[in-house]
Amino acid sequence: MSEKTHPLRKYMRPQVKKTTFCPGCGAGIITQALLRAIDELGLTMDDFVFVSGIGCSAWIPSPLLNADTLHTTHGRPIAYASGVKMGLPDKHVVVVSGDGDLSAIGGNHLIHAARRNIDMTVILVNNGIYGMTGGQTAPTTPYGLTTITSPYGNAEQEFDISALVVAAGGSYVARWTTYHPRQMTKSIKKAIQKKGFAMIEAITQCPMQFGRVSKQGSAVNMLKNYKQNGIRIEKAAKMDPSELQGKIVEGVFVDCDKPELISSVAALQRRTGGKE
């Protein structure tokens, strides 16, 4: 029997034989979208440094991807990545981490990296819950949902992370569910090429925790839900907010060019004579 190798396997560490994701997890789809984007751009793994925090999705790059990878503390990958980028301005720095990591404990770094417009791609994997720790409420958990830490229903409002990053100053912001991997891939390519702060909010299924508590059930059911309730941003713009209840607005939220931090720093170094 001849062994078949996935065409994207070459981007993964040969020593790593398995992932740490549960069956049905969306991390595989997001990993594929990321690697396909790199493949289609004709870049190599040596063009990248990947940084992640703590949570299931932080294990997408670490140790899987065969590149420089920095696996850090909970909430701080964007801060670490900012330092990496300051030191290696010519590399693409990509952060892959979860909604809890990047918008709860690490929310301050997210908005300030966007404000600075530092050249970086953030893949914010949003499963709407704390999966690894057992299904607790996240800032992205829908209002009213019953979770381990909201046993009587979530009393809090949820974050619209894409809108937050647009407001904070991101240059490129897009949101896609794992039901739209091709669109996600295209956006990741755009994000990598964008000179500035770029974020992809990847809405993904966590059948083991979110699927269970939301009673949406299996990964397949969750993907069907994304298909049913996903709505393009262009269409959503023409709809009444009441009609958008329970919908997932997808698409490109912003795509613009403005002064980027690393280039601005290099320019001031040249101006002060510190750099040729």
Which residues would be at the binding site for other proteins (CB under 8 A)?
A: 13, 15, 45-46, 49, 51, 62-63, 66-73, 76, 79-88, 90-91, 108-109, 112, 265, 268-269, 272-276
Distance CA 261, CA 211 (A): 40
Nearer to other proteins (CB atom), residue 66 or residue 229: 66
**Closest CB 35 distance from other proteins, rounded Å:** 15
**Closest CB 89 distance from other proteins, rounded Å:** 9
**Closest CB 256 distance from other proteins, rounded Å:** 22
Exposure on the CB side of residue 165, measured as CA atoms within 13 A? 32
DSSP type of residue 54? S
Distance CA 173, CA 166 (A): 7
Nearer to other proteins (CB atom), residue 153 or residue 259: 259
User: What is the helix (H) or strand (E) element at residue 211, kind and residue range?
Assistant: none
| Type of residue numbered 206 | C
**Closest CB 12 distance from other proteins, rounded Å:** 11
**Closest CB 268 distance from other proteins, rounded Å:** 6
Nearer to other proteins (CB atom), residue 63 or residue 142: 63
**Do the bridges between strand 248-255 and strand 172-177 make them parallel or antiparallel, or are there none, so unpaired?**
antiparallel
| Type of residue numbered 208 | M
**Closest CB 50 distance from other proteins, rounded Å:** 10
Nearer to other proteins (CB atom), residue 69 or residue 216: 69
Distance CA 127, CA 30 (A): 12
3-class secondary-structure state, position 194: coil
DSSP type of residue 201? E
Q: Are 91 and 234 in contact (CB under 8 A)?
A: no
Preceding omega of 63 cis (within 30 degrees of 0): yes
Q: Are 26 and 208 in contact (CB under 8 A)?
A: no
Nearer to other proteins (CB atom), residue 236 or residue 265: 265
Nearer to other proteins (CB atom), residue 69 or residue 183: 69
**Closest CB 59 distance from other proteins, rounded Å:** 9
Nearer to other proteins (CB atom), residue 241 or residue 273: 273
- What is the biggest distance separating any 2 CA atoms in the chain, rounded to whole angstroms? 65
Distance CA 203, CA 189 (A): 17
Q: Are 174 and 188 in contact (CB under 8 A)?
A: no
